[in-house]
Structure 1
């Protein structure tokens, strides 16, 4: 059967995109082999499996590679429909997909803050990042346990990086974004998500992640890429 074929995940320990694929696989109780990639010296397998973007995550199922984390999550949900991570009702499913897409589009806001070169750029990026978080505070899980209600779903996985990655991000940049006094419901959701066993077992240590982000930021600010 299709779902019984070998599963392999190519990833990098610091990538929040890889983490959400790991979470989905574990929630579905899918056995898989993990391949840690050195992104400064990418393996031939990674370049072969993802020749367009040449990045992680890549899920290989029965020899067939699937790239891009959101596409992978949708694939996992379709191939292994048990322990569903999307609502069953078409309207609720559409709303879930809306928020997943919102997260994809607005996630770049936080990287703009991390790689801002001037004070004005940083202040503008900080304001934009806080506006994104305020939107989630007002329109997100609210008083529900998770975005999907009582059970964790793909929307939670998509925003799961907020629960651990954002803390390291804040320390790296020297700003505070997820203030419990300003964003109490989103902060409470992040704390609940962070305490889930699948999250605690997988995310890297705070200190290691901060060191990685600082190196990445210093490298970028010293030699920013040329964009034509």
Structure 2
């Protein structure tokens, strides 16, 4: 326990960094992914093409390369200095934009579970495509994709460690800091693993709670 108690300041800082990356990146991914998922099933060919191109391009690009683009290619174009807040913000965008592709495909699969007749009936009542999606299709789609969506967010949680390679403080970077303090690196890695297991168990509990509350009756 000395590895924890003797370095509470560092553990707290890195844990907060991980949670910020996860929560902010998750919100961005959920918003952007929902929009792209709707575009993927849009009756407008241009919207479908843009959504498909975005998903196929970003999803098939390794996350590390996405980070490289945000850390080294984007700042010179925008005239940014890589300070700690800027690096954190860019890491959030990298994680959110990358994860949004998986959210979009999950949402699209949920949309496909909604009977077509419901959307057609809503359109017959005079609802626009946006109203059909927001009021009829999306509420049912979200309820049906809770398990796969939670798997996406569990993957996002673990992907936050990639940011450690780009000077963003999180649990993935604590090993190097603890090494400078002379701590046993193997014990540090074991504690990091334990913390991630606890966080994933919390997400699994949230998944079961949401499933029980929003269970879809077939």
Question: Is the structural similarity TM-score above 0.5?
Answer: no
Q: Which has the higher contact order (CA 8 A, sep 6+)?
A: 2
Larger Rg over CA atoms:
2
Q: Which has the higher strand share?
A: 1
Greater share of helix:
2
The TM-score, its normalising length taken from structure 1, stands at 0.28
